[in-house]
Amino acid sequence: MAPESNVASGVRERMRVVDAGDQAFTIVLGERIAPEVVATVTALDRQIAALHQTGTLPGLIETVPTFCSLTVIYDPLQASRRQLLAEIARLPPADTHVASSASRRWRLPVCYEGDCGPDLEATAAALGMSVQALIAQHQQSEYCVYMLGFLPGFPFMGDVPSALQLPRRSEPRLRVPPGSVAIAGALTAIYPSESPGGWHLLGQCAVPLFDPERPKPSLLQAGDRVCFAAVDAAEHTRLQQAAKARALDPAAFLDAEVAS
């Protein structure tokens, strides 16, 4: 019994495989939350997807990219961990530069006004800056979607500027409204639906992050790039109404693919 084992050969030297039962294993590609680690995860994910399309990985059900690892889920009636790992181990080293240059970039509207950002003042005070500076700094960065999880369509994005990093609220909220744009630690996120949550709420985004009626229900995917653009309350209300009427085309918030 070896819950952790190294896959021999080539590019897999940095790759550690851990067991996750009889229908999954996890390939660990790093030990910290960082864009370059996510780029490695994304690159391997794309390589496996391409291999799967050629029919080389029968029994593969799906892969799940996270901050530092890629989990491969399979049907033990059609495949074994041994067979799948043997195929994956044959992959050539991934070009992580290609992976990141193929990312989509979004410019998402955020309203930081009025009731939209209930934690703006307390957060600015805790960080020792003005509300204006907090809003400006939150918008300054382009964020990488490290992974999705917690809720359907919930993006973990980073890194927020170090001046904005603070721990979660000591008292989590029982109800965070859908669309809330929030920060915690080095991460920022948007709550796709109402849920309990302990992050600091800075604003509201009217673009639906998750819609089960869309063929691709999640707006964002791991590896995407996201910028925030402030909108005023009137524009936010207009966008919310359009979203409610299902008249908001998410593609309108997509910049051209990032050039390398």
Partner 1 sequence: MSETTSEIEVRSAGAYASIQDSGRRGLRRVGVPWSGVLDPAWMKIANALVGNLATAPVIEHFDGGLVLKVLHGRVRVAVAGQADVDISGEQGVQRVVCWRSVRLDAGETLRIRGLRAGRLVLVAVGGLQVAETLGSASTYARAGIGRPLAAGDRLSALFSEASDFLLAEPPIDGDAVIRVVAGPQTGHFADDALAQLCAAPFAITEQADRMGIRLHGPQLQHRSDAHKDIISDATVPGSMQVPGSGQPIVLLADAQTAGGYPKIATVISADLGRLANRRAGETLRFQVVDVDAAEHAARSHAEMLAQLIASIRRLPGDGSVDLEALYNNGLISGPISGFDTEE
Which residue lies nearer to partner 1 by CB, 63 or 96? 63
Which residue lies nearer to partner 1 by CB, 74 or 112? 74
Residue 57 beta carbon to partner 1: minimum distance, rounded to whole angstroms: 14
Which residue lies nearer to partner 1 by CB, 99 or 134? 99
Which residue lies nearer to partner 1 by CB, 109 or 223? 223
Residue 95 beta carbon to partner 1: minimum distance, rounded to whole angstroms: 21
Residue 149 beta carbon to partner 1: minimum distance, rounded to whole angstroms: 3
Which residue lies nearer to partner 1 by CB, 25 or 228? 25
Which residue lies nearer to partner 1 by CB, 120 or 181? 181
Residue 198 beta carbon to partner 1: minimum distance, rounded to whole angstroms: 12
Q: What is the binding site for partner 1 (CB under 8 A)?
A: 1-4, 18-26, 31-33, 61-69, 71, 73, 76-77, 80-82, 147-154, 156, 193, 210-213, 217-218, 220-222
DSSP string, 61-99: EEEEE-SSEEEEEE-TTT--HHHHHHHHHTSPPP-HHHH
Strands 225-230 and 105-110: parallel
Measured CA distances, 5 to 17, 67, 138, 238 (Å) = 6, 20, 41, 54
- CA dist., res. 116 & res. 224, Å (int): 25
- CA dist., res. 36 & res. 29, Å (int): 10
10 Å CB burial of residue 40 (0-12, 13-18, 19+) is buried
- CA dist., res. 179 & res. 151, Å (int): 12
Residue 72 near residue 25 (C-beta atoms within 8 A): yes
Residue 239 beta carbon to partner 1: minimum distance, rounded to whole angstroms: 19
Residue 4 beta carbon to partner 1: minimum distance, rounded to whole angstroms: 7
- CA dist., res. 81 & res. 59, Å (int): 10
Listed in sequence order, the residues at least 6 apart from 24 whose beta carbon sits closer than 8 Å to its beta carbon are 71, 72, 73, 74
Structure tokens at 138: 């939150």
